[in-house]
A and B are shown apart, each in its own frame.
Chain A
Amino acid sequence: MNLTLKVWRQLNAKEAGKVETYNVKDISPDSSFLEMLDILNEQLINSDIEPVAFDHDCREGICGMCSLYINGEAHGPDRKVTTCQLHMRMFKDGDTITIEPFRSAGFPVVKDLVVDRSAFDRIQQAGGYVSVNTSGNTQDANAIPIPKADADKAFDAATCIGCGACVATCKNGSAMLFVSAKVSQFSLLPQGQVEKDRRVLNMVDQMDSEGFGNCTNTGACEVECPKGISLDNIARMNRDFLSASILSKDK
């Protein structure tokens, strides 16, 4: 496959970026999108051009490190896959592919296609955990019976890899899907009940202070999420937040 790539190049967060056009030849349809970018970078290095910076790690869809806004969609045109799982057979020979970073006030560009997603870490640190007494008498988590339906929902929420595709695709740059998944995975379980109110209040507060936008229920996040995190989580977080704001002693 021969392709024309329009790639966003940006030196750092302060400099303005622009689109550069590159051509790549003889790309196998069986190669992954990131392998195609590796080939591009080898070509650029051989021509004494600075290679394109992009995030990646496990390359098997579980670490949440890869990103990229490909032809106007987070993680590209395929569904329920991350960019590293996207294959070149999704494109046609002769295609022009536009590659941009995830764009949000909460995700400043580090370089080229790499963005700083540490806002998600700060939201998680604000309450996305269950405090455990480690004095030596920690209870086995499995000692508490959990209804299968709740365990399944909590597990589904916990499959969120924190890649930020929800923010990237949302026209409002809202982080509600990510935050609601991280709230739900604990608030559905008995171990998460004690800190339930404090968790949702603190995580939403942190989310708001990171510069993410407001959810308007377009549902784009759910469609583009590589893990298929459901809008049910956002509704649950809205409920939990409302009741905690009105009734909780932690408010």
Chain B
Amino acid sequence: MSNSGIGKTSIGRKVVMALSGLFLLVFLLQHLIINFLSVINPDAFNAASQFMGTNPFVQFLAQPILIAGVLVHFAMGVILTIKNKKARPVAYVVDNQAANSSWVSRNMIITGIMIFLFLVIHMGQFWIHEISLKFFGEQSWDKVGFVKGTEDFRYWAELHKTMGDPINASLYTLAFIFLGLHLAHGFASTFQSVGFRDKKYTPGLEKFGKAYSVLVPLLFIVIAWFHVITE
């Protein structure tokens, strides 16, 4: 082997894509569970938000890993797409790709870019606000979750206000449809990329992946519209 390092091989890049994707799949589930608390129990949602927002382990270890995970997954996706375009310098005049592969599997870069654009908006709406309060605000960390000058948590109220806007909820709905399409291929694909394929387990895993790609985005959408309806 010409020893260029595993990360520079085609299979190495696949594995980076798969492992970062798998990590984001797990993160998504955690995000969903906390968001769902906002529907069933605002107090529990506030407590969970306060924990996630002020726990040093979450803030200084998990959060940077998550940001790195998103950036690596996105950057590798772009790099792979550019390399793959170069692998066919002259395009087919007629190319009937629909005959042998699904739309979602062929358009991961499109659904991926849409999700990334949504993330930029999403971070602007929630994350930048939190970071500026925590690191550049006047309140100490134990008070940062309160509405200024009170002992009332602000998390649920802020979420309710932002998500209660039907335009915002519509934007989130659209983004989660793209996420669902991305996961419809991505979930099972991660396992294939790391070499896990088995006659007994793979069909079940693929079904679970399809269910995950429908249910998780759907629940996020339900949560968004819950806040519109109850606003």
Contacts and interface: CB of A to CB of B under 8 A. Distances in A.
Contacts of B88: 103-105, 171-173, 213
A212 B87 contact: yes
A237 B11 contact: yes
B101 A220 contact: yes
A32 interface: no
Given A204-B9, A223-B100, A242-B195, A215 B14 contact: yes
A105 B14 contact: no
Contacts of B194: 238-239, 242
Contacts of B92: 69, 72, 100, 103
B41 interface: no
Nearest to A222: B100
B106 A218 contact: yes
Contacts of A242: 6, 11, 15, 194-195
Contacts, number: 146
A250 interface: yes
Interface stretch (A40-48, A52-60, A138-146, A228-236): A228-236
Contact of B105 (A213, A218, A234): A218
A6 B91 CA distance: 16
Chain B: interface residue count, which band?
Answer: 35 or more
Contacts of B173: none
A197 B13 CA distance: 19
Contact of B15 (A106, A223, A238): A238
A213 B80 CA distance: 8
State the majority secondary structure of interface residues on A. Answer: mixed
B199 to A, nearest CB: 8
A213 B89 CA distance: 11
Given A105-B88, A232-B197, A237-B11, A8 B101 contact: no
B93 interface: yes
B2 to A, nearest CB: 6
Contact of A72 (B1, B3, B94, B101): B94
A72 B97 contact: yes
Contacts of B6: 242, 245-246
B38 interface: no
Given A174-B10, A216-B108, A105 B100 contact: no
B61 interface: no
Contacts of A204: 9-11
A51 interface: no
A104 B9 contact: no
B129 interface: no
A93 to B, nearest CB: 20
A40 to B, nearest CB: 18
Contacts of B3: 251
Interface string A12-33: 0000010100000000000000
A208 interface: yes
Interface in A64-86: 69, 71-73, 77
Contacts of A73: 96, 99-100
12 contacts: A6-B93, A19-B93, A98-B93, A103-B92, A104-B88, A172-B84, A213-B87, A214-B13, A217-B189, A218-B105, A231-B197, A235-B195
Interface of B: 1-3, 6, 9-15, 80, 83-84, 86-97, 99-102, 105-106, 108, 185, 188-189, 192-197
